[in-house]
Amino acid sequence: MYVVGLTGGIASGKTTVADIIAAKGINLVDADIVAREVVAIGSEGLAQIRAHFGKDMLLDDGSLNRALLREKIFADDADKQWLNDLLHPMIRTELLAQLAASDSPYTLLVVPLLVENNLTTLCDHVLVVDVAEQVQIQRTMARDSVSQQQAKAILQAQASREQRLAAADSVIVNNDRQQLSHDAAILHQKFLELATIAMAD
């Protein structure tokens, strides 16, 4: 099992790179999807959140009130810590299960907070999607309809561009879609070779 960790700051283009590589027959394990699954209706994660914060945390359909939970944890570091202590082990366990079940030549592990949550240990190789911070801010404002101030606050809550690049084994720059597709195809070949070498060892 050869794992390439894919990360990058908000609005850097992680999903675009992941989709290009997935189209080449490579399995994706997406931490954002897993994070939603561990708090889905009927899950142990959701039951514990309800028990801890109260039934207000559920919407009328029984699903998690994400907006209210976000408010809670941003207002109280202890609540944020409690939630992280609950969910991070669940997410990690499920990520490992999905990685173990993957049958493609290598697997792409897509984690926005790969560096921040110290999940680089799950990876054989770390690929960072890089883009200038000003571009990230503009894309975030356009995509999420947030102010420049909010976009900057989101950026500041993540690892810095320098921290991510320091953790990278490979970097792909996302300034031009055509160039991105070309570079992703070259990296795909490189990862196939690395995975073959790793299997031989």
What are the pLDDT digits (tens) for 105-151?
A: 999 999 998 998 889 999 999 999 999 889 999 999 999 888 999 88
Residue 73 CA to residue 79 CA, distance in Å, equals: 5
Q: Which pLDDT score, from 0 to 100, does residue 146 have? A: 87
Closest residue by Cα to residue 31 from 56, 3, 59 = 3
The CA-atom distances, in angstroms, between 108 and each of 25, 103, 182, 199 are: 11, 12, 18, 16
Mean pLDDT of 156-160: 86
pLDDT confidence band for 91 (50 / 70 / 90): very high
Q: Which pLDDT score, from 0 to 100, does residue 155 have? A: 86
Give the model confidence (pLDDT) of 66-75 as tens digits.
989 988 888 8
pLDDT confidence band for 2 (50 / 70 / 90): very high
Residue 122 CA to residue 124 CA, distance in Å, equals: 7
pLDDT confidence band for 46 (50 / 70 / 90): very high
Q: Which pLDDT score, from 0 to 100, does residue 154 have? A: 84
Q: Is the pLDDT of residue 94 over 90?
A: yes
Q: Do the Cβ atoms of 165 and 131 come closer than 8 Å?
A: no
Q: Is the pLDDT of residue 170 over 90?
A: yes
Q: Looking at 57-124, which runs of residues are DSSP E strands?
A: 107-110
Helix, strand, coil percentages, rounded to 5, for the chain: 60, 15, 25
Q: Which pLDDT score, from 0 to 100, does residue 182 have? A: 95
